[in-house]
Structure 1
Amino acid sequence: MQIYSHVFKAGLEGDLFLQNSLISMYGKCGAIEHARDVFDKMSERSVASWSAIIGAHASAEMWHECLKLFNDMMHDGRYRPEESTLVSVLSACTHLGSPNLGSSVHGILLRNTTELNVIVKTSLIDMYAKCGCIEKGLCVFHSMAEKNKHSYTVMISGLAVHGRGSEALRIFAEMLEQGLAPDDVVYVGVLSACTHAGLVNEGLEFFNRMQFEHKIEPTIQHYGCMVDLMGRAGMLREAYELIKSMPRKPNDVLWRSLLNACKVHHNLELGEIAAENIFMLNPHNLGDYLVLANMYARAQKWVDMAKIRIEMVQKGLVQTPGFSLVEVKRRVYKFVSHDKSQPHFHSIYAMIHQMEWQLKFEGYIPDTSQVLLDVDEEEKRQRLKYHSQKLAIAFALIHTSEGSPIRIFRNLRMCNDCHTYTKFISMIYEREITVRDRNLFHHFKDGACSCKDYW
């Protein structure tokens, strides 16, 4: 800012190149208000000006504003976007989960650039993978004449989060054949791929190869992947022993992976040990208390469950409601369980009722074991009936054309009942339904899920 004052003294505040540099400097220093002030006062702008201000907002993770600025730039009509600008816009699409806009940006790139470089193509792969369009990401990847380590890492990680572990391992083998040495980051993707696909033996093998063949010391992320891998496979005691044998102090994330695995496999004894360690390291995460309380409820230890609930209240921990987001006609709609805030909730609830009738004919039975409350079966069925994911699906079925795909994003792990429910709906209504929960992308089609019921 002191240098900027000299700019005014020298009468150079109107110099275009200097203004662009100021915007870039302010953006990289996190002073986004100053960057915007310089941009708004410019009497003349160039492509570099727009690129600098869009990049500044991307650096500040102001994704919506980033897209608004890009829209303003394109509507102006005088500027042809640079590749760096479009990389920032692709990052915004990635973080906002907007595949339609991302595809539009891809189209702009193809129309305005003779050959996309490795960085841009890698950004496209990342965007498609994180927006649920893994096939498009694979198309971009396979079209690349030149690939670097980052390209392989992004593709492997993308396949991992879509539960396509075997394909991720084939890509990793291709990377090694190309003579590219793996690093700790790509091995996180490899181990995650094994985790989400249930490839236990392969995961153990790669964990050893990483250390002894490629001389990479395991980080806390690698241990986290292994605990998750073993825990999902029911190897709870082995996961516990691995945590205890670590050369570094385990963090709450590792213990949380074990706790969640104990919940899935109904091991209350180890679950209590994991929870005790979590509470010592991080006593303010509400989700951990809820998992333990639900485990007590499943074991019908109502007194212990009540103690945990009381402790949550005493610590002032407030639960963030689970929600589902669905994109319909380029707008995103948010639903929570038993949501009646939508203006047309009557039609949504009527659709739920219609769906339930058709589900009964196909043999669907609500999994009331998911409702961990001391209430009767009918009350449990009613609580399951209006989960946020089901409301989002009903809304999408009403407001989208027949046969069109449905994409839903959740902030929590999908429950078993919603998983079974969505498989049936994909078959009955002949829709492809993609659900991104906290752990994984699930692609439902013809009554089956890409995760093969392993998540």
Structure 2
Amino acid sequence: MITSSPHLQSLLPSRDDVTHNPEVNNNFRAKEQECLNLLKRCNSIEEFKQVHAKFIKLSLFSSSPFSASSVLSTCAHSGWENGMSYAASIFRGIDDPCTFDYNTMIRGYVNATSFEEALRVYGEMVEEGVEPDNFTYPFLLKACTRLKSGREGKQIHGHVCKYGFEADVLVQNGLISMYGRCGERALSSAVFERMEAKTAASWSSMVSARAGVGMWSDCLVLFREMCRETGLKAEESGMVSALSACANTGALGLGRSIHGYLLRNINELNIAVQTSLVDMYGKCGCLDKALRVFKKMESRNSLTYSAVISGLALHGEGEEALRMFSEMVEEGVESDHVVYVSVLNACSHSGLVKEGRRVFEEMLREGKVEPTAEHYGCLVGLLGRAGLLEEALETIQNMPVEQQNDVVWRSFLSSCRVYRNVELGKIAARELIKLSSYNPGDYLMISNMYAQAQMWEDVARVRTEMANKGLKQTPGFSIVEVKGKTHRFVSQDRFHPQCKEIYKMLHQMEWQLKFEGYSPDLTQVLLNVDEEEKRERLKGHSQKVAIAFALLNTAPGSIIRIARNLRMCSDCHTYTKKISMIYEREIVVRDRNRFHLFKGGTCSCKDYW
């Protein structure tokens, strides 16, 4: 739409610019206003071109800078297909483009995701000696942010200082976001700290900058600090980032608080916020709540469907995920590569091999989405989980060589370990070390594969290689939230203040389990020790310690929620099923791959994970 900016109004020609004759001048003004009114009513580029032709025919485009800028602005900000290419031709026809015109083109290119073009136009602006203003830089910084181009961003920052806009709040917020998302955490913080008056947008920029590079814990620390400083006043972009951090850290309590705030203070949530809520609830183990938010949405896009399908996948609801995918297609929402990853993961977690193959083949046949290493990795995981190791290996070998990355081989190695196929596992291990020779998790998985096969010399060799490279494994841990506070436990944990009570509870749980026929699976202890030592090791697994703590500190009948950083072992799985029945508790466990809902002695994964 045409802006009523005072700057744009100032571009109107004076009476002397048009004519000294008042009658002619009034006629000019009337024609110009008529065309400007027509411009406002344009609903398509075809209508716009007709009005543009009228401006040219009446000599309005060449004689009135205001008209020229209005025509350019309408086209560049329209969002029409090919709108920016037509706007570029209009721009080239302006004899002496001003700051407003350059800003219009920069903003238009950024909104059209043509970020390199936006930077190119700014370079042209500088070369032509047209002085920028404070409206020039926020969109340029956004372009650098989206390109993750810190080098150009620093150059832009230099120009900001040169022209005296370093104290402008919008520019400062753009710098915070740009530096944060380009990995320049110190520079982002420096700009933020120098601000005299930090606004909600400033805090949101800091939160979004941390979320943009996956610093989820830091993101939540900043968000909580923002809540203390501003009373939870944040822009929707900050809320979206905070919800993403909650989703990735399992901070359900904070996620619920944010949702409550949004409902109390915002009349209508936009699609980005609603999608973030679906994603947060799905990843925090509240699938029913995620579905309720999803069903209330008036409009949905591919990201929304991807979020709900991912949630269903994490909870092992593969058939429902496929139904949701079909609904998306029926509603005319275009599938993208993210949606296909979500659907293939859903099939993988539910053992729907036939259906997963069909989805992958459909993607190839339609040709709208080029398969990436991530898609192939999902297919390899689907086949591997089902025990179809030879087919999984054949799939990798038939992939484009450049897509045979560490993620694909890691997925295959994991399946080889689960199905105890050492020969194929050796192939995966060899290729994985070539591609990722400094990932301690890979060496640990290889070591565990050999330990399961009691190949202790190979275990020692792999462990020695780890030590020589200075690689340290991240210990397995389980996190449980009780009364708004998170408690983290590692295996054999003896450091918690309630240590004595926890181990008394563990002893009681073991005693009760004997009456339910529980027998520890000693094969899950991957150490060359005697059976008694293996039993003791199993008793202290972090998940069991976390459950004992939760049973001691939560109300009878309440849900226990646990997050793990590693895949759950089969012994903990059996153990937790029986505990859910004995103590009549629902226990939700999120491991590295998916959610498990234990209830009444059964698990939602149907023992397939």
Same fold by TM-score, threshold 0.5 exceeded? yes
Matched, 1:361 2:512: no
Equivalent position SS for 1:435? strand
Aligned-residue RMSD, C-alpha: 2.4
| Equivalent AA in structure 2 for residue 273 of structure 1 | I
Q: Deviations over 1:383-440 (max 9, x none)?
A: 1010011111111111112111111111111100000001111111111111111111
Equivalent position SS for 2:588? strand
Q: Deviations over 1:113-167 (max 9, x none)?
A: 1111111100111111122222211111111111111111111122112211111
Matched, 1:329 2:483: yes
* CA 1:303–1:33: 2 relative to 1, 3 Å: closer
Distance in 2, Cα, partners of 1:42 & 1:309: 50
Equivalent residue runs for 1:75-90 within 5 Å: 75=228, 80-90=233-243
Aligned residues with identical type, % of pairs: 58
Deviation at 1:269, TM superposition (A): 1.7
1:46–1:79 contact (8 Å) kept in structure 2: no
1:121–1:140 contact (8 Å) kept in structure 2: yes
1:58–1:92 contact (8 Å) kept in structure 2: yes
Equivalent residue runs for 1:2-81 within 5 Å: 2-6=158-162, 16=169, 19-20=172-173, 23-24=176-177, 26-27=179-180, 30-59=183-212, 61-75=214-228, 80-81=233-234
Equivalent position SS for 1:413? coil
In the other structure, the counterpart of 1:300 is 454
In the other structure, the counterpart of 1:430 is 584
Deviating more after overlay: 379-388 vs 52-61: 52-61
Deviation at 1:280, TM superposition (A): 2.5
Determine which of 268, 289, 304 is the counterpart of 1:136.
289
Matched, 1:439 2:609: no
In the other structure, the counterpart of 1:195 is 348
2:558–2:585 contact (8 Å) kept in structure 1: yes
Distance in 2, Cα, partners of 1:207 & 1:194: 11
* CA 1:281–1:404: 2 relative to 1, 3 Å: same
Matched, 1:210 2:363: yes
Equivalent position SS for 2:563? strand
Deviation at 1:284, TM superposition (A): 2.6
Equivalent position SS for 1:217? coil
Distance in 1, Cα, partners of 2:174 & 2:469: 48
- Bigger relative contact order, structure 1 or 2 (CA pairs below 8 A, ≥6 apart): 1
* CA 1:213–1:13: 2 relative to 1, 3 Å: closer
In the other structure, the counterpart of 1:263 is 417
Determine which of 162, 167, 172 is the counterpart of 2:315.
162
Distance in 2, Cα, partners of 1:135 & 1:322: 29
* CA 1:184–1:21: 2 relative to 1, 3 Å: closer
Distance in 1, Cα, partners of 2:281 & 2:205: 25
Q: Deviations over 1:173-200 (max 9, x none)?
A: 0000011221222111111110000001
Equivalent position SS for 1:404? coil
| Equivalent AA in structure 1 for residue 352 of structure 2 | L
Determine which of 268, 274, 285 is the counterpart of 2:428.
274
Determine which of 244, 247, 255 is the counterpart of 2:397.
244
The aligned length equals 452
In the other structure, the counterpart of 1:314 is 468
Unaligned runs of 5+ in 1: none
Unaligned runs of 5+ in 2: 1-156
| Equivalent AA in structure 1 for residue 571 of structure 2 | D
Deviation at 1:215, TM superposition (A): 4.5
Matched, 1:388 2:538: no
1:434–1:444 contact (8 Å) kept in structure 2: yes
1:32–1:60 contact (8 Å) kept in structure 2: no
| Equivalent AA in structure 1 for residue 266 of structure 2 | T
In the other structure, the counterpart of 1:410 is 564
Deviation at 1:73, TM superposition (A): 4.4
Q: Deviations over 1:293-331 (max 9, x none)?
A: 333333333333333333333333322211111111222
Distance in 2, Cα, partners of 1:416 & 1:258: 19
Q: Point out the structure with max Rg over C-alpha.
A: 2
Equivalent position SS for 2:486? strand
* CA 1:278–1:180: 2 relative to 1, 3 Å: same
Deviating more after overlay: 188-197 vs 290-299: 290-299
Misfit runs of 4+, over 6 Å: none
Matched, 1:287 2:466: no
Distance in 2, Cα, partners of 1:273 & 1:14: 58
* CA 1:409–1:351: 2 relative to 1, 3 Å: same
